[in-house]
């Protein structure tokens, strides 16, 4: 999921791209290069794009996301180990609690509560760190992809492009047809521009949702261990 900061960055990047389109080159300056967004900003077509999907389904996004998952595998293992330890202590309390004296039972309960709090704190910190780094990946790719979207829209007669990353009612779009969606062309164009090869076969990273899915699934956070039951 792209952070709020990333959405602000999205607006800033598109704003700068549109400003570049609006500014005609001064006399004596070099001609506009092919990579500069097209000046044809008077199109009438309406298009949609799933920004999050375009970012994380690109070759660069898939590779970055796979690396991020691998980076957090030790933390996931740590959380699983702590969760198993808590479950073991709870089982001990359940099966032997009646046979313990009050001090031993109270000590075991206190130990479980302490480890439970540690688990929840560690899990929350890991989740926040993971989401923050995922947002950084999204921002990095977005700054390079946004001008391409503006350029593509101008050259293909679009007057407006709407982001469908958020499903209605969180997002503005109730329904749209695939004929107006430009997610896949942007992914393909970005892959060519970036020069990043697709991840190796057999990659363990979460596979991006196919662009043909209207309600694009967002990149998931790593499957953290579930908090032990109370």
**DSSP state letters, 30-74:** PPPPTTSPPS-----EEEEE-HHHHHHHSHHHHHHHHHHHHHTHH
Q: What is the mean pLDDT of residues 170-197?
A: 94
* Alpha carbon 126 to chain centroid, angstroms: 16
- Classified as helix, coil or strand, 158 is strand
pLDDT grade, residue 203 (50/70/90)? low
Distances (CA, A) of 52 to 55, 196, 209: 5, 18, 10
Helix (H) or strand (E) holding 193: helix 183-194
pLDDT for res 201:
72
Q: Which of 5-9, 50-54, 116-120 has the lowest mean pLDDT?
A: 5-9
pLDDT, one tens digit per residue, over 13-27 is 554 444 333 333 333
**Interaxial angle between packed helices 102-155 and 4-22, expressed in degrees from 0 to 180 and rounded to the nearest 10:** 10
- Say how far residue 188 (Cα) sits from the centre of its chain: 19
Reference 129, options 79, 171, 80; nearest CA is: 79
State both tokens at 137: 């990946």
pLDDT, residue 90, reads: 95
Q: For residue 41, what pLDDT band results from cuts at 50, 70 and 90?
A: low
Q: Where are the domains of the chain?
A: 39-194
Pick from 93, 56, 104: which is nearest to 228 by CA?
Answer: 93
> Is residue 4 predicted with pLDDT exceeding 60?
no
CB distance 65 to 14 below 8 Å? no
Q: What pTM was estimated for this model as a whole?
A: 0.68
Tokens found for residue 131 = 């989401």
């Amino acid at each position: 999921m792209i952070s709020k900061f990333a959405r602000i960055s999205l607006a800033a990047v598109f704003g700068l791209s549109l400003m570049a389109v609006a500014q005609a080159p001064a006399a004596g300056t070099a001609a506009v290069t092919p990579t500069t967004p097209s000046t044809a900003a008077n199109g009438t077509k309406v298009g949609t794009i799933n920004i999050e999907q375009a970012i994380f389904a690109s070759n660069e996004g898939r590779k970055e996301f796979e690396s991020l998952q691998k980076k957090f595998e030790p933390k996931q293992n740590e959380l699983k180990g702590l969760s198993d330890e808590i479950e073991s202590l709870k089982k001990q309390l359940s099966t032997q609690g009646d046979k313990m004296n009050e001090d031993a039972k109270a000590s075991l309960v206190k130990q479980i509560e302490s480890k439970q709090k540690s688990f929840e704190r560690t899990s929350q910190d890991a989740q926040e760190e993971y989401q923050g780094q995922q947002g950084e990946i999204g921002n990095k790719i977005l700054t390079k992809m946004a001008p391409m979207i503006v350029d593509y829209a101008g050259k293909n007669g679009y007057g407006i492009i709407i982001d469908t990353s958020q499903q209605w009612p969180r997002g503005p779009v109730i329904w749209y047809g695939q004929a107006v969606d430009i997610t896949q062309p942007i992914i393909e164009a970005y892959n060519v521009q970036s020069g990043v090869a697709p991840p190796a076969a057999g990659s363990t990273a979460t596979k991006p949702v196919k662009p043909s899915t209207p309600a694009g699934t967002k990149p998931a956070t790593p499957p953290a261990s579930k908090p032990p039951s109370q």
